[in-house]
Structure 1
């Protein structure tokens, strides 16, 4: 990858890294797993970036890669995440401090979301990110109608989990 492409990647990743942190928060239960998943998402984004054509916004593309990475890793029954050696890359990404106390008031909701299946987690995540149903359907590769139906079912399910 040339220096200009590398610079664009780092700039975009730093600007949108909270997307990956939020996905990590939904798919992990502890800080070490969060860090491991964030690293794996970063690696997958780096590997896929030369193929990013710009047909969609970087953030939309990043959602898709990050969600697919999280779903793929956590569908496997193994709890350990295999990572790749990233020493060959000569840039450093400034990671924002991830302060868990900021989101304490969302703990109950995140706990409920964790109980959903992988696709439902991805759908609710995009919904909570204020994505419209068209963007959700594009990102997840489902129809808009299917996204709406699934969302209504997920809302009902979350209500029953939070208020048994």
Structure 2
């Protein structure tokens, strides 16, 4: 295994784990994490450095997760319908920031959750657009809407 690959995985392990956690279905976080690592390994030789390594890792991890999710679309749709019927718990009470963020993330669709994760990790709008395969303007609109949704739901004035 090339040392560059090992170093890249060490540096990006948290991001890969976060993507796996977000997109894994019941209890398969470790399996998805391994699938992402496998895909990164398989495509490492084709990485030409035209983008930042973080962007490349996001793209591979996101595409691997999306491929896996396509296999369980029906189940996912049912879960989303059930989740949309539940009333969100908007009271922040004594919850810590991580709990509030987790609550907000679970209320988002997959694309919005990905945008939020990348935004929090400091990726630029163009990098997010490249990973998701959408226009920069669409990413900027999503970020604006996410900020407003979060503010409306959790901020008390």
Q: Quick one: distance in 2 between partners of 1:153 and 1:17?
A: 29
Normalised by the length of structure 1, the TM-score is 0.69
After superposition, the C-alpha distances for 1:45-76 in whole angstroms (9 at most, x for unaligned) are: 11111211111121110011111222332342
Once superposed, what is the RMSD of the aligned Cα atoms? 2.6
Residue of structure 2 in register with 1:36 after alignment: 31
In structure 2, what is the equivalent of residue 12 of structure 1? 8
Cα distance between partner residues in 2 of 1:154 and 1:105: 16
Q: 1:34-113 residue pairs with structure 2 within 5 A? A: 34-75=29-70, 76-77=72-73, 105-113=97-105
Question: Quick one: distance in 2 between partners of 1:115 and 1:13?
Answer: 29
Q: Please report the TM-score for the alignment, with normalisation by the length of structure 2.
A: 0.72
Aligned length: 135
Q: 1:136 and 1:41 mapped to 2: Cα distance?
A: 18
Whole-angstrom distance in 2 between the partners of 1:59 and 1:136? 11
Give the stretch that moved more between structures: 36-45 or 64-73. 64-73
Contact 1:27–1:114 (8 Å) recurs in 2: no
1:35 CA displacement: 1.2
Deviation at 1:124, TM superposition (A): 0.9
Does the Cα contact within 8 Å between 2:40 and 2:57 map onto a contact in 1? Answer: yes
- Encode CA deviations 1:53-104: one digit per residue, 9 max, x unaligned: 111121110011111222332342377xxxxxxxxxxxxxxxxxxxxxxxx7
Aligned partners of 2:22 and 2:51: how far apart in 1? 24
